[in-house]
Amino acid sequence: MIDQIAYCDAFPRDGETLVGSAFEQGFGGKGANQAVIAARLGGTVSFVGRVGDDQYGAEITANLAANGVDVSGVKATPGHSSGIAPIWVDRTGANRILIIPGANHALSGADVEHQVERIEPAGVVLGQLEAPQEATTAAFAWGRRVGSTTVLNAAPAAELSMDLRRTTDWLIVNESEFESLWGAPTTVEHVEHAAHRWNLSLVVTLGAEGAIGTDRRDVFRVPALAVDVVDTTGAGDAFVGSFAMAMAAGWAPADALRLAVVCGSLSTTRPGTQSSYPRPAEVVDALKGVSPEKGPQA
Ligand code: ADP
């Protein structure tokens, strides 16, 4: 996805033309952001996806490659635009966002099956809901076959197909996604109950409160870092990508959660999305200040 952010004093009404104050364009997309942080932290990352057969598609692919991500599974798709998100932000910070998935929605299960043939079995297979669920399910089915841990970031919020849920080992959602999937607010009891009902391990991110997770044996609660927040855009993706990297490296879930919270928090201290993601040295320093609280207390 390409984020196109237009800043204005107030939103134009129907039929009205206004002059805005500034424009910014940046690389986005949940999967791409998550791939970039995982690679930045030392992970070996292969990306499977589709971009448009347009200038943006070439730029998106080049950006991933420049960030150390293997892009041999990223295909340009004739007849589709790349994924674009035009975003309006007014002077109060309120926003209006249109998502045009473009080529992302052309990714099929068959595409994925073809691409994963060429990839080394991975420690973790990570998916989001910006690609069709059928494609992510194909990736997770492959992951299960080759012994990977499958991690699903169910964002943006949507009902999950039975097949996708059944092939998911770890589900990661934020509070509003949890509420829309589970139908009740995020409490320790609800998170534990949902993990058992869905038969998976579950993490819910809590913004400034950090995150809570359970592998259905233990419950882990990790507070966020106390930081000076500049821009929270992309914090959830920093969390998910670093969690996946740590799990792929064989870390215990409690330690992976600790890393994820630290990376999410550090990313809020700088503007932008991928450009706000921390480098390993900064993460190592910050990790010294955080210890997981194990137990049922929220
Ligand atoms: P999303 O952006 O997907 O809604 P959250 O808002 O839950 O996700 O944030 C994801 C992670 O980013 C949190 O678990 C935390 O580590 C970090 N984070 C987000 N907001 C803050 C904040 N205000 N202060 C410190 N850390 C934050």
Q: Is 268 in the pocket of ligand 1 (CB under 6 A)?
A: yes
Which residues are CB-neighbours of 173 under 8 A, at least 6 positions away? 153, 154, 155, 157, 181, 202, 203, 204, 205
Q: Is 205 in the pocket of ligand 1 (CB under 6 A)?
A: yes
Active-site residue set: 237
- Ligand 1 centroid – CA 208 distance (Å): 5
Pocket test for ligand 1, best of 95, 128, 268 (most atoms within 8 A of CB): 268
Pocket test for ligand 1, best of 232, 259, 270, 290 (most atoms within 8 A of CB): 232
Q: Is 206 in the pocket of ligand 1 (CB under 6 A)?
A: yes
- Ligand 1 centroid – CA 265 distance (Å): 6
Residues in the chain: 298
Q: In what order do the strands lie in the sheet with 95-97?
A: 22-27, 2-7, 84-89, 95-97
167: left (phi over 0), alpha (psi -120 to 50) or beta: alpha
pLDDT computed for residue 132 by the predictor: 98
Q: What is the tens place of the pLDDT at every residue in 129-170?
A: 999 999 999 999 999 999 999 999 999 999 999 999 999 999
Q: Residue 237 CA: which ligand 1 atom is closest? A: 3
- Ligand 1 centroid – CA 236 distance (Å): 6
Cα 232 from Cα 12, distance rounded (Å): 26
Q: Residue 206 CA: which ligand 1 atom is closest? A: 7
Question: Prior bond to 156 cis, omega within 30?
Answer: yes
Low-confidence ranges of the chain (pLDDT < 50): 294-298
Compute the chain's Rg from CA coordinates: 19
Measured from the Cβ of residue 83, the count of other Cβ atoms closer than 10 Å reads 27
pLDDT computed for residue 121 by the predictor: 87
CA dihedral defined by 84, 124, 129, 96, rounded to 10 degrees? -50
- Ligand 1 centroid – CA 177 distance (Å): 14
Measured from the Cβ of residue 2, the count of other Cβ atoms closer than 10 Å reads 25
Cα 21 from Cα 38, distance rounded (Å): 34
Q: Is 235 in the pocket of ligand 1 (CB under 6 A)?
A: yes
Are the C-beta atoms of residues 262 and 286 closer than 8 Å to each other?
yes
